[in-house]
Structure 1
Amino acid sequence: MTWQEISLLLGIGAVAGILSGFVGVGGGIVIVPSLIYVMGLSQFQAQGTSLFILAMPVVALALFNYAQSGNVQWRFGLIVAAAFVVGGYVGSKLALRLPEAWVKLIFGAIMAYVAFKMLWSGYQGISNHES
């Protein structure tokens, strides 16, 4: 691995970490596209690597800060986490059976939908606040 690759990976990690702590995103939205378009990984390699990264203790540090400030709904989190584990297993099996191009298309469509919903909600919040 070259120093340039290490520098790029450190940059991807720093941006994803800052965004994760700031607005709760990182894995799918920042890391996966960065690994594909900056580092040249396949969709499947980027997804697998992103899942590995998310399993790291970094998540625990961000969780600690939110928990200390009383901003974690533990019961909700435990229920979603249990379903997330099962869903992650099923989703990975399904993704690996589809052509990579389809997985990219589905991934992009989900990101576009979420982006639209967030932008629209933010716009409405600003419009209502200014009225």
Structure 2
Amino acid sequence: MTTLILLAIGLGAGLLSGIFGIGGGVLIVPALVYGLGFDQKLATGTSLAILLPPVGLAAVIEYHKRGDVDLRAAALIAVMLMIGSWLGAHVVGQMDTKTVKASFGLFLIALGVWFSFEALSGR
């Protein structure tokens, strides 16, 4: 089950990355925290490992030294991120600019409401 969730996180992040140009901190970290129960540091370290080549080699090394990176999760999500980002880029090519912009705005609003509710409810 965990493997399927990791693959779904990778595919979802890839799709949203291809459509909106987002992924790591906005989608993968919350998905790992709320979907798989990772603590915030492990989720952040794992997300950085996923984005390692283009983003954060030095940060991943430091997180890994402390045991805050799940390399298996990072590898599984990274594979699906690549597939999903290609698929998302293909899908967004079929959409008009207004729809993409409105969808991105609604996504950010929903994410902001979710984070605010979680913070204010003490979770």
For normalisation by structure 1, the TM-score amounts to: 0.49
State which of 69, 72, 75 in structure 2 corresponds to 1:72: 69
Report deviation, 1:64: 2.1
Q: Is structure 2 residue 56 aligned with structure 1 residue 59?
A: yes
CA RMSD of aligned residues (A): 2.8
Inter-partner Cα distance in structure 2 for 1:28 and 1:125: 21
Residue 85 of structure 1: aligned partner = 82
**Which one has more relative contact order, counting CA pairs under 8 Å at least 6 apart?**
2
Residue 115 of structure 2: aligned partner = 118
Q: Which runs of 4+ in 1 moved over 3 A?
A: 25-29, 54-58
Conservation of the 8 A alpha-carbon contact between 2:63 and 2:69 = yes
Inter-partner Cα distance in structure 1 for 2:94 and 2:83: 17
Inter-partner Cα distance in structure 2 for 1:79 and 1:27: 14
Inter-partner Cα distance in structure 1 for 2:72 and 2:52: 20
For normalisation by structure 2, the TM-score amounts to: 0.52
Conservation of the 8 A alpha-carbon contact between 2:52 and 2:60 = no
Query: Gapped runs of 5+ residues in structure 2?
Result: 1-21, 27-50
Q: Give the partner amino acid of 1:117.
A: W
> CA, structure 1 residues 28+100, in 2 after alignment: closer, same or farther (shift >3 Å)?
farther
Q: Give the partner amino acid of 1:119.
A: S
Report percent identity of matched pairs.
24
State which of 93, 97, 100 in structure 2 corresponds to 1:96: 93
Inter-partner Cα distance in structure 2 for 1:72 and 1:58: 15
Larger radius of gyration, structure 1 or 2? 1
Q: Give the partner amino acid of 1:61.
A: A
> CA, structure 1 residues 86+73, in 2 after alignment: closer, same or farther (shift >3 Å)?
same
